[in-house]
Structure 1
Amino acid sequence: MEEDWQADLEQWLVPYLEGLGNKTRRKMCPAYIAGLIGPGDRKSIQPMAVRSDAVPYDRLHHFIGAGLWDKAPLEATLWKQADDLVGGDGSWLIIDDTALPKKGKASVGVAPQYATALGKNANCQTMVSVTLASGEVPLMLSLRLFLPESWTGDVARMDKAGVPRALQNYRTKPEIALEEIDRVIAAGVRFGCVLADAGYGLSAPFRQALTARGLCWAVGIPRHQKVYPDDAQLIFPVAGRGRPRMRHVPDVTSVAAHTMLEGAKWRQVSWRKGTKERLTARFAAIRVRIADGVPQRIGSAGAQHMPGEEAWLVGEHRSNGERKYYLANLPADTPIKVLAGAIKARWICEQAHQQLKEELGLDHFEGRSWSGLHRHALMSMMAYAFLQSRRLAQAGRKKKSPRAATATQSASSAAGHP
C-alpha cells in the first residue's frame, strides 16, 4: 500500500513539478510532501530527512528555507485541482484562522495572541485560512500569516524574518481574508457562498466588501450586533424648535441581535446526517436591516449607525444551552433549513485544520522565516489535496458519490497506512 500511494503521488505531482524548473527542486518537492504524508510523529525537516535515505537534511532545508523559487505556479496548480474536485455554485469558500503554538520570539509573526483552538491567549503564529469545500470534502487553498502590531511596528525585525516589504504594513485578519478572496476570484475558482465565524462577521467593512463584490455570505456575529426591523423607515424628525432637520433618521431604534430574536418563532431544524444520527438544533430567522450604515446623531441617543443592507438574522439554540447568532445576505425567500445548512457548513474547515496539524505537520515547522513558513504551509496543503483526491478516487471506484467521501477519515488511512 505504501508503494501504491508513493507512485500515485509522483504522478499527481507532475503538473506541480513543471512549475519548479530546477532538477534538484523537482526532486525535493516530492520528498518533502512524502515526508509530510509518511509515518512519524514529527513532520519538521530534520526528522523527515532522518526517515528518508534519499534526501539529505541540508538540501531539504535549503529547498524550503532559502531556495530561490516562486510558489505562485504551484499555488495556481493547487487551486485549479481544487476547483476541478469540489468547485461549483454549490461550494463554500470558508474563511477562518488557525493558531500554530510557538516558543520564543524569533519565528516570524509569533506573539501572545488569542488561539481559538486553545480557547485562550498563547504564544503562537496565526494564519488566515481559505478553504474550498463541497459537502464534507474540504480543500485548503490558502494559509496567510497575520502579523500583530508588535511585528509591523518593528521594520528591522520583519526584515530579519524576510517579510516582503509590500506586506509589512499592518493588516487586520478580515483585510487579509479579502485580499485572499480577491486572488481566489481572479484565479477563476468557483464557489457559491462565503462563510466565516464571528471573528470576521463582526467586521462591517468585511461584510460590506463581500456584498460590494456581488458575493453571497453567511457569517457569525456577536449577540450584541445592532439591527433594525426590515420595515424600518427613514423620516424627517419633527423639530421642536430651531431650524428644520436636514437629515432622515430611522422611525425606530436599533436593538441587539439577541433582543430582536426574543419574540421570533423557533423551530427544530436538521441540516445534515452525523456519524450516528441527524444533527439538529433550534433555529429562528427573520429579515432585518443591519445597523452598519453611516453614523449619525439621532436625538438623545447620540451617534448611531443608520440602517444598512437587508439580510437574514439567524439565531441558533444548541442542545447544550449555547446560543449563537448569524447574519446572511441570502435571498429573502431562502428556507430556514437552507440557512441552517449554510451556517453549519463552516465546521468542515476546522476539521481540515486539525488534520493538517495532526496528520501532516502544519504546526511542526521549526524555521523562522516568512518564505519558509509559507512554503511549508503550501506543501502541507498540497499533501492534503493529494489525500483528498485519492479519497475521492477510491470512493469512485466503490461506485459512491464523490460527495459521500467523508473528510473524517484520517489522512494516514487515505495514504494507505494502518
Structure 2
Amino acid sequence: MTAEQIAGWDEELTELTGSLGRLFNRPEPRVVFAQYVEGLLAELPKKNGWTLSERAGHLTPDRMQWLLNGSVWDADLLLDAVRDYLVAHLGDPEASLVIDDTQAQKKGTKSVGVAFQHCGLTGDVRNCQTMVMVTYAAPRGHAFLDRRLYLPEEWTTDRERCREAGIPDDVAFATKPQLAIAMLKDALAAETPFGWVLADSGYGRDPGLRAFCHDQALPYVLAVPVDLSLSGPPGKPRQPSVKRADDLLHYARVRDRWERRSLGDGAKGERLHDFTAFDVTVTDESPAEGFAHWLVLRRSLHPNRRGKDGKLHREIAYFLVHAPTGTTLTEIITRAGGRWRIEEDNEINKQLVGFAQYQVRKWTPWHRHITACMLATAFLTVQHARLTDPEPDTGEDREETVNPGKAQVNNEGETTG
C-alpha cells in the first residue's frame, strides 16, 4: 500500500461524506458527520462519543452526541445512500442478499429493544439487542445493505416504554422473518440487482418468507429444520415414506451418491463437505412458474456430533432450494457457501468500526449509528474491490439475468446434461 493510495482514499472519503451534506439542514452537523465516519474508520481502541470526539479535536463529546440524539436528519435517507453507493460500485445481477441477525450485549432495561433473548455470539440467553441484517454479497465484494432493529413483544405491547425510547407509534411487533421480508421488498422496490436469497434455518423455517420468495420468483438457498414437511422421490413398497426432511437421509445412505464439494475458504482452510440432492415437493407450497424445489443434504467429512446412541456421527444439515428448473448442483452449493459472507460482515463491523460499541439508548440515534457504520464498511469494501480488481467497475459488460446453467438436479441427486 502506497502513500498515494492512502491519500486517494482520504480524498474519496471526503468526497463521499461531502456528497451526503444534503442530509443535514445546518453546516455543523455536516462537519461532525464527516468526522464521525472518519473516526469509525480510524485505528481507535474503542469507538464511542469520547474517543471519536478526542480524535476530531473536540473538548467534550457534546457535538458527537448531538449528531446522534438531537440534530435533524433522516437515517433512512443515509441508508438509501449506502445502498446506492454499493450498487454503483459493486452492483451485479449475480449478487446474493444474505439474511441473518446479530446481537449487541447491553446492561439494564432502557436501551431500545433490549431483552433477555438468544445471543448468537455466546450461544445462550442474555440481555442484548437483536438486529436483523441483510448483506449484499456480490462477486467483487460484500457489505451490509439494510438493517432492522428487532423489538420483542414485551416492548411493542408497552407503548409507554416505546415512547420513552423514541419508537414511533406506528411501529408494531414483527418477527425476524417479517423484518427480513420488509427489507427484501425495499431491495426490490429500489431495483437492487441480485439473483439469490440466502439464510440460515432461523429464517428458512418460516413459511411466510418462503412464500414471499415464491410469489416474487426469487431463487433461494435456505437452511431448514429436519422436520420440514415435504415429500420426495416415491419409495418402493416396504421402503420408508418421505414426510419430512430427515426421512430423505435413509435414501441418501442407501444409494450413497455423495459429491465432495467446497463451500470456499474459511479460517482453517477450504470448507469441504459431502453433498447430495433430491427433487422434492414441499407440503402446501408451490414454486414459482419455471422453478423447482430441491432438498440438499450437507454432510461433514468426519464424525463430529454425538447422537442419542452415544456414538459420534457426521453432522447433516438440510437446505431447501428454490431455483429455475435446470439449475446445477454446483451452482446451488456455490450459493450456499455465500451465506458466510454475512458472518464476515458482522465480524468486520464489530471489530473495525464500533458496530456494537454505541452508547445510545433510543430508536433514532441507534439507527443513525448503525447506518453510519454501514457506510464506513461499504467504503472499505469498495476500496478493497478496487485493490483486487483494478478494472473500471462500469458494469457495462455484466449479465442482466441469472444464468441457471445447462444441467439440472434430478430426483436421484444426479446432474444431467
The TM tier, using the shorter chain, reads 0.7 to 0.9
1:297 corresponds in structure 2 to: none
Three-state SS of the structure 1 residue aligned to 2:178 is helix
- Following the alignment from structure 2 to structure 1, what is the Cα–Cα distance between the partners of residues 9 and 327? 43
Contact 1:271 1:337 in 2 (8 A): no
The one of 297, 315, 319 aligned to 2:297: 315
Three-state SS of the structure 1 residue aligned to 2:356 is helix
Contact 2:90 2:140 in 1 (8 A): no
Contact 1:146 1:171 in 2 (8 A): yes
Check 1:396–1:137 CA distance in 2 against 1; reply closer, same or farther (3 A cut).
closer
Instruction: Measure how far apart 1:276 and its partner are.
Output: 7.6
- Following the alignment from structure 1 to structure 2, what is the Cα–Cα distance between the partners of residues 391 and 55? 34
Q: Would you say 1:256 and 2:244 are equivalent positions?
A: yes
Contact 1:195 1:218 in 2 (8 A): yes
Moved more, 16-25 or 349-358: 16-25
Contact 1:285 1:313 in 2 (8 A): yes
Q: Would you say 1:378 and 2:371 are equivalent positions?
A: yes
1:174 corresponds in structure 2 to: 177
Three-state SS of the structure 2 residue aligned to 1:200 is helix
The one of 205, 209, 212 aligned to 1:202: 205
2:400 corresponds in structure 1 to: none
- Following the alignment from structure 2 to structure 1, what is the Cα–Cα distance between the partners of residues 270 and 331? 15
Instruction: Measure how far apart 1:395 and its partner are.
Output: 2.7
Deviation sequence 1:300-359 (CA, Å, 0-9, x none):
xxxxxxx64451101101234322111011123222111111111100110001110111
TM, length-normalised to structure 2: 0.83
The one of 109, 129, 136 aligned to 1:132: 136
1:283 corresponds in structure 2 to: 275
* One-letter amino acid of the structure 2 residue matched with residue 392 of structure 1: A
Three-state SS of the structure 2 residue aligned to 1:84 is helix
1:333 corresponds in structure 2 to: 326
Q: Would you say 1:269 and 2:251 are equivalent positions?
A: no
Q: Would you say 1:67 and 2:50 are equivalent positions?
A: no
Contact 1:111 1:125 in 2 (8 A): yes
Instruction: Measure how far apart 1:53 and its partner are.
Output: 0.7
The one of 340, 363, 384 aligned to 1:347: 340
The one of 101, 116, 123 aligned to 2:120: 116
TM, length-normalised to structure 1: 0.82
- Following the alignment from structure 2 to structure 1, what is the Cα–Cα distance between the partners of residues 140 and 127? 32
Contact 1:98 1:128 in 2 (8 A): yes
Three-state SS of the structure 2 residue aligned to 1:74 is helix
Check 1:260–1:36 CA distance in 2 against 1; reply closer, same or farther (3 A cut).
same
Three-state SS of the structure 2 residue aligned to 1:356 is helix
Contact 2:142 2:341 in 1 (8 A): yes
Structure 1 residue ranges without an equivalent (≥5): 233-251, 294-306, 403-418
Aligned residue pairs total 368
- Following the alignment from structure 2 to structure 1, what is the Cα–Cα distance between the partners of residues 56 and 18? 21
* One-letter amino acid of the structure 2 residue matched with residue 286 of structure 1: F
Contact 2:297 2:319 in 1 (8 A): yes
2:22 corresponds in structure 1 to: 18
1:87 corresponds in structure 2 to: 91
Check 1:55–1:20 CA distance in 2 against 1; reply closer, same or farther (3 A cut).
farther
Question: Percent of counterpart pairs with the same letter?
Answer: 28
Structure 2 residue ranges without an equivalent (≥5): 305-313, 395-417
- Following the alignment from structure 2 to structure 1, what is the Cα–Cα distance between the partners of residues 138 and 218? 17
Q: Give the root-mean-square deviation of aligned CA atoms.
A: 2.4
* One-letter amino acid of the structure 2 residue matched with residue 268 of structure 1: R
Contact 1:132 1:139 in 2 (8 A): yes
Instruction: Measure how far apart 1:25 and its partner are.
Output: 1.7
Deviation sequence 1:46-90 (CA, Å, 0-9, x none):
221123215751111011112221123322221111112222221
Three-state SS of the structure 2 residue aligned to 1:225 is coil
- Following the alignment from structure 1 to structure 2, what is the Cα–Cα distance between the partners of residues 136 and 312? 28
Moved more, 193-202 or 324-333: 324-333
- Following the alignment from structure 1 to structure 2, what is the Cα–Cα distance between the partners of residues 199 and 278? 25
Instruction: Measure how far apart 1:230 and its partner are.
Output: 5.7
Deviation sequence 1:1-51 (CA, Å, 0-9, x none):
566543331022232223334211210111111111112121111221123
- Following the alignment from structure 2 to structure 1, what is the Cα–Cα distance between the partners of residues 207 and 258? 27
Contact 2:277 2:297 in 1 (8 A): yes
- Following the alignment from structure 1 to structure 2, what is the Cα–Cα distance between the partners of residues 401 and 280? 32
1:183 corresponds in structure 2 to: 186
Contact 1:229 1:287 in 2 (8 A): yes
Instruction: Measure how far apart 1:110 and its partner are.
Output: 0.3
Instruction: Measure how far apart 1:275 and its partner are.
Output: 7.2
Moved more, 368-377 or 257-266: 257-266
- Following the alignment from structure 2 to structure 1, what is the Cα–Cα distance between the partners of residues 185 and 369? 23
Deviation sequence 1:86-118 (CA, Å, 0-9, x none):
222210011111111111110000001111122
Three-state SS of the structure 2 residue aligned to 1:75 is helix
- Following the alignment from structure 1 to structure 2, what is the Cα–Cα distance between the partners of residues 277 and 117? 22
